[in-house]
Structure 1
């Protein structure tokens, strides 16, 4: 029998839970189900993706839902502590149970195909018992950006004969890695450092390989930065500091005049460059890259201004950099030529003994679900390839007119990448051709350092959009196209060393984005107690406690 629902949410990570919670609280009597391909709640933090030592970048207080605090007496995490992966899995499971999501969850259920119908959508869902059809009036895809790994293809891989895996499977294949003496880890992102650290902790020596034609080593910061020693995970949510990041929706914070001065005047741009120079130099000096020849190899190649949400935090129990100084992690800025039995051969001829090889080589930043019966206009803008290319060039000019500081792009070591079209959705959630149908949205197709706040707000915005309760929205296709093009083309210029060319990438842009969504719903976005606090006090999840109840009262929905 075909199952039928009013709403299906696909994915139970931060964004899936945020979306499900908002809709359930607003429609408690509707038929709602959450499908997840995993065996537990959490997405990135699901049980099968955890391994010893894995922690969040964020510290306590910045990585929780607004109205479900991560209390120390319950979860054992202290102030300034990073959150262990197992605690996050427990926290997200508790959240799901508290808000009636868990009872609506179906695990081990993978959605492979989505087809539009006259009344909604039909999903092809595969589970251990076989394939089934699920019908729904409304659909939220919250599969996120870390579902499908990028796995490199190497010559001679079939002869390697030792464990070869992606970091996603590091926990699941832990038994195969026991007793490993020499491991090769590929990648320069934080996940590569995490895997290397865990392998050294288990007794291995690690060769860390970073491609010379990549974006290089990750920017990784101590817990506190700048001469004033602000928490790195909350300083990115200080409203006044967000002014130093040029952004097309930045004016939504109500300080458009200050932003224009910083963006449009030569003096303003000098101040912007000075701010980012202070930020970057402080991190470089604290990390002391120059005091060891191996550490020098991990010094970031590009200004922190250009890197996007890949910025990470040193959250280890002991010093990762000491592991490098002690020779337990050896860094190679080299390409891999081929694999051989138990060896990785570099292009310079060096042969590395490899009892195992773990690739922290990123993710395919796209939905893994196939859509049937939707043409180009269904998921993108209603344009052919030539029209889209011309429009992209037109908006390149507009972006640089509004944000001249972006014109002086960094010279990248990496080869020019041929990206598919960026994810061009209204408010980064709804394809333009589906706006009037009010029955489909993506949640979490953004990369942000403000995950918990964005997940909660996106979820509520989608509910308001589905119910036609937004106070403002684009009124014409031209208006929709202008916003989508301005927002997405800006990304290609703003974060060339991040994800900007393919998807929304937020650092200081997260709180202005939340401002925009809250104003769409007619909910106050300035939530501090005074003007000074509004400018210099970091926005944290607890500042948005009560937003859902405000929305419900405003729209005559009974609060519980």
Structure 2
């Protein structure tokens, strides 16, 4: 390293100011009001996915009012102008997260346009950070480090033959907002992808007067499962029904018993009758969505029908949150669907493998994200951020815990037939999906938000509290032996490969009905009550929302008799 002076030193640095970074910063600041803390953010505003630079036209949350807010900072409809049952506009979420940061003293500790490129350990068990800023490179040292860069930071951009000759706007959906001025007057746009963001971009382009060709790879994951706001014959909100405790029992989950009801889970997943009920539950849930969307009503709309049963999908499940009908745009020919690969680009044209040529004034790729971090670690051995196992040991444990998962949950053995080659299972093997095992005793490093969950706000708040308590060695329970750590991490991470092969399960934790049991587990580690409803009936049937966890941080604070 070149001899650059350390410009700043801190007790804690948080990298990232999305939902998880802000929650982690809030918990730590409240527990350590006199420590020196910095939050580094590469964008010009807070929010991560909801930063101003990423707020493309019409962007809204999948969640509706009441399910996408921090427990101790309610999104008041009078303040933010969102009606009950309404989806939250992106600009409102940016404002809300900025207000949260200001209210809890985070904003004054934020350093914007500061991109972390290198992290390396110091001889004193701290961390040295190299960051790029508009004024050049600077070095930062900190005793503790929370990496909350999230899962949607680095675009997965496809490479096409002839791209250098295309001579039209060609970019990832992440840059849709900043590229908007160059899209004025666009008559024909090509959007690549079958995920919700592809649908959003296609919808937004039609709203501006363009005709859209939506290209979905035939050897990919296929069109996203997208549901109406209200599902099941009882017409319940889909963004909260996933957090109804008795319904979480129908999803095979190795930490499910943390909710305090292991018996119904054992019955549902360990008996023939129980597994029949599980399959019926998911068939009814998926069938309700398919019937509501009426894919069979039009040949073009039929192309958007998901390829795999909803049981296997994971947190990619989305909601129809548009002001007008997306499906009508398809029926009217304003969005034309092509299930093909792109062969090459030509000047102002996209050529498909069939030879069909699409006129394109713009090519927008909603092609997902690279799950690996762009931050480089130096001074660590290759296995320091994993389980520190040899290849032979890892293969042995993979086989052992594959068998254990299948013994616990036979229903996942009947895997779906995929149209794509699944990547080798190489998940992030962190304790509680947060801390690499090599750093459990050092208590100086944590990853926040390296999970994909439909219960973002609740999981973010719980992880933030857990990380702060872990750093201070104030968790009520934690695996103490190497064997306990390896056993738990392997079970929890190997489960993902089997549970969500059509989602992110092979590479990172993917939660749908698993989010509330995960929060149960973290709250129990903290010594807090996880049953937070007023009655047994409500505990089982009333959806958990952020409001149910209001005051949890103060409960932990008072329990540990911290000096305010």
Q: 1:268 aligns with which of 270, 274, 279?
A: 274
Report 1:73-112 matches (<5 A). Answer: 73-112=78-117
Out of 176, 198, 202, the residue aligned to residue 204 of structure 2 is: 198
Which residue of 2 is the match for residue 128 of structure 1?
Answer: 134
Specify which of 466, 486, 489 is matched with residue 484 of structure 1.
Answer: 489
Deviation at 1:415, TM superposition (A): 2.4
Q: Could you say which residue in structure 1 is the equivalent of 2:535? A: 530
**CA displacement 1:32-81 (0-9 Å, x = unmatched):** 00000000000000000002210000000000000100001100001010
How much is the aligned-residue C-alpha RMSD, in angstroms? 0.7
Q: Which runs of 4+ in 1 moved over 2 A?
A: 415-419
Alignment of 1:415-494 (within 5 A): 415-418=421-424, 421-494=426-499
Match of 1:163 among 163, 169, 172: 169
Secondary structure of residue in 2 paired with 1:227: coil
For residue 161 of structure 2, give the secondary structure of its aligned residue in structure 1.
Answer: coil
Aligned runs of 1:124-523 on 2, under 5 Å?
124-418=130-424, 421-523=426-528
Alignment of 1:34-113 (within 5 A): 34-113=39-118
Partner of 1:28: 33
Residues 3-22 of structure 1 show CA distances to partners (whole Å, capped at 9, x for unaligned) of 00000000000000000000
Mind listing any 5+ residue stretches in structure 2 that lack a counterpart? none
- Give, in whole Å, the separation in 1 of the partners of 2:310 and 2:324: 25
The partner residue of 1:11 within 2, 8, 16 is: 16
Matched residue of 2:431: which SS?
coil
Q: Is the 8 A contact 1:426 1:432 kept in 2?
A: yes
Q: Tell me the TM-score normalized by structure 1.
A: 0.99
For the residue of structure 1 that corresponds to 2:558, the secondary structure is: helix
- Is residue 2:540 matched to residue 1:540? no
Secondary structure in 2 matching 1:140? strand
Structure 1, residues 347-402: CA drift from partner, whole Å, max 9, x if none?
A: 11100001100000000112221001111331001112232122111111111011
Query: How far apart, in 1, do the equivalents of 2:317 and 2:345 lie?
Result: 31
The C-alpha deviation readout for 1:159-188, integer Å capped at 9, x for no partner, is 111000000000011111111000000000
Consecutive unaligned residues of structure 1, counting only runs of 5 or more, are none
Normalized against structure 2, the TM-score is what? 0.98
State the distance in 1 between where 2:256 and 2:423 align.
28
In structure 1, distance between residues paired with 2:53 and 2:538:
41
Partners of 2:230 and 2:236 within 8 A in 1: yes
Instruction: Give how far 1:417 is off.
Output: 2.6
Q: Give 3-state SS (helix, strand or coil) of 1:172's partner.
A: helix
Distance 1:194 1:183 in 2: 13
1:557 equivalent among 550, 559, 562 = 562
CA distance in structure 1 between the aligned counterparts of 2:423 and 2:118, rounded to whole angstroms = 28
Contact kept in structure 1, 2:405 and 2:495, CA below 8 Å = yes
Q: Deviations over 1:391-420 (max 9, x none)?
A: 11111111101110000000101123345x
Deviation digits for residues 282-308 of structure 1 (CA, Å, limit 9, x no counterpart): 000000000000000000010000000
**Corresponding residue pairs, total:** 558
Q: 2: CA distance between counterparts of 1:371 and 1:44?
A: 24
* Secondary structure at 1:38 match in 2: coil
C-alpha offsets along residues 240-298 of structure 1, whole Å, 9 cap, x if unaligned?
A: 00000000000000010110000100100000000000100000000000000000000
